[in-house]
Amino acid sequence: MASDKVTILTDGTFEQTINGEKPVLVDFWAEWCGPCRRLAPTVEELANDYNGRVVVAKMNVDENPSTPMRFSIRGIPTLLLFKSGQLVEQVVGLADKDSLKKLIDKHVA
Amino acid sequence: MLRNVVVIGSGPAGLTAALYAARANLNPLVIEGLEAGGQLMLTTLVENWPGYRDGIMGPDLMGEMRAQAERFGAEILRGHVTAVDMQSAPFKVTTSDASYETRTLVIATGASARLLGIPSERSLLGHGVSTCATCDGYFFRGKPIAVVGGGDTAMEEAIFLTRFASSVTVIHRRDTLRASKVMQVKAFANPKITFEWNAEVEDMTDVSRGEVDGVSIRNLVTGERKVIPVEGIFVAIGHTPNTSLFKGQLEMDANGYLITHSGSKTSIPGVFACGDVQDHVYRQAVTAAGSGCMAAIDAEKYLEGVPQHLGKTTETVNDELRTMK
């Protein structure tokens, strides 16, 4: 049940996306990562809940090595939240929807 | 709707409890939890699950258990329990989205990987410090790494990580491994694995750069200190039971493990516990599954003997008693 509300990011589109007007939540994941698969439905729910207010995006670390390297990501799932191109929050590993919402709400009017 | 059985947790214990409860027509509801599928979801080949002579991949085994429980009518819900009220029956289980009332509760919340507890470890988590080799090994292709611990999990992680890493240094507090003989033999035979015995981790660097570049250890026998240059540190020093929800409600030991007696019974009638949340001794998938079966049978027996008034409020019962007079 992949949601069309989740933006697929690549190394090529990353910079432009995070510098957009809305905050951007990026889920760094890979096919072989079990916890990433568990987090995926939560990320999709967030994309629905924050539709129009926050860009919720996913980046496959297998296909896009440079962005994870730039942020020293050595563990997935990792969620990064950007506002006006700046990194404002990061969450390593699994997290429940409530705590993620609290984190996002700090940066969303 | 008042439930017969709510199972909290979806590892081998929880799903086996659900399977048995479902086959007893108790329509169990399983609330998966954050780490759905449990610890086996983070492993690769499981070679000690009876019936699979060539082994089975951990995530595949959990997928099968889940499908089997569902086949007999278990309802499995994605969600994370945030509160449990066991003060009076029916018990109340709350998740971030809803709450459920149930006559019996099966606790199968398992245990989660433990960290060393040094400050640098927390800040470098996800940036070189990891508790999951199968998740994060990929990031250390051709790089030197360290594994902390001497048990089965530590050896499994070390062996798995040799697929990626240029070298794996196992840091262990004692001079012998706690791991099973078969794992020890595999680890000792692996040319990429070396050992630092009697060694304690003192620090991890480099916090200011936000990346791991080394681990400082101290030899507990000689007192000698040294820094091992590594880019990844995998911590596999055991687990802590996931029992914070039950503090002050259920009897637990000094380490937070639930105490069970006469099978899977906890200190509250109608509340049963199974799997790693109540077992710090065996901690195997097969023992967890076995205890999950026990919990379901205990819950079924309890429900057979449960007086009809359970599940009603005290007021209703008193009203009924009054009318009977």
Domain holding A85, by residue range, is 7-104
Domain-located, residue A109: no
The number of domains in chain B is 2
Domain-located, residue B325: no
For the segment A10-43, what is each residue's pLDDT rounded down to a tens digit?
999 999 999 999 999 999 999 888 889 889 999 9
Asked if the Cβ–Cβ distance from A41 to B127 is below 8 Å, we say no
The residues, any chain, with a CB within 8 Å of residue A70's CB and separated by 6 or more, are none
| B80 contact A CB<8A | yes
Domain boundary among B205, B235, B265: B235
Interface subset of B 35-64, CB within 8 angstroms of A: 35-37, 41-42, 59
Question: Residue B97: what pLDDT?
Answer: 84
In angstroms, rounded to a whole number, what is the distance separating the alpha carbons of residues B295 and B275?
A: 10
Q: Where are any strands of DSSP class E within chain B?
A: 2-8, 29-31, 45-46, 56-57, 75-77, 81-85, 91-95, 99-107, 111-113, 129-130, 144-148, 167-171, 193-196, 199-205, 214-219, 225-228, 232-235, 239-241, 271-273
Q: Where are any strands of DSSP class E within A1-109?
A: 7-9, 24-29, 55-60, 78-83, 86-92
| B229 and B124 within one domain | yes
Which residue's structure tokens are 């939240």? A81
This prediction has a pTM of: 0.83
The number of domains in chain A is 1
Q: Is A62 a catalytic residue?
A: no
Percentage of chain B modeled with pLDDT above 70 = 94
Q: Is A84 a catalytic residue?
A: no
| Helix, strand, coil share (%) of chain A residues, nearest 5 | 35, 25, 40
Q: If you ran DSSP here, which 8-state letter would residue B278 be given?
A: G
Question: Residue B216: what pLDDT?
Answer: 97
| For residue A105, pLDDT beyond 90 | yes
Joined tokens for residue B121: 């470890």
| B164 and B311 within one domain | no
Question: Residue B45: what pLDDT?
Answer: 85
Domain-located, residue A53: yes
Nearest to B96 among A74, A76, A96 (CB): A96
| B130 and B211 within one domain | yes
| For residue B144, pLDDT beyond 70 | yes
Closest chain A residue to the Cα of B133, Cα to Cα = A75
Domain-located, residue B213: yes
Distances (CA, A) of B79 to B63, B94, B196, B276: 17, 10, 41, 20
| B135 and B194 within one domain | yes
CATH number for the domain that contains residue A31: 3.40.30.10
Question: Residue A1: what pLDDT?
Answer: 44
| B257 contact A CB<8A | no
- Residue B204 corresponds to which amino acid? M
- In angstroms, what separates the C-alpha of A73 from chain B's closest C-alpha? 5
- Residue B200 corresponds to which amino acid? E
| B134 and B205 within one domain | yes
| A108 contact B CB<8A | no
| B245 and B217 within one domain | no
| B232 contact A CB<8A | yes
Higher pLDDT, B192 or B89: B192
Domain holding B19, by residue range, is 2-113+239-319
Domain boundary among B206, B235, B264: B235
| B43 and B7 within one domain | yes
For the segment B204-258, what is each residue's pLDDT rounded down to a tens digit?
999 999 999 999 999 999 999 999 999 999 999 999 999 999 999 999 999 999 9
| B119 contact A CB<8A | no
| B50 and B153 within one domain | no
- In angstroms, what separates the C-alpha of B179 from chain A's closest C-alpha? 24
Domain-located, residue B324: no
Domain-located, residue A2: no
Domain-located, residue A1: no
Asked if the Cβ–Cβ distance from B125 to A38 is below 8 Å, we say no
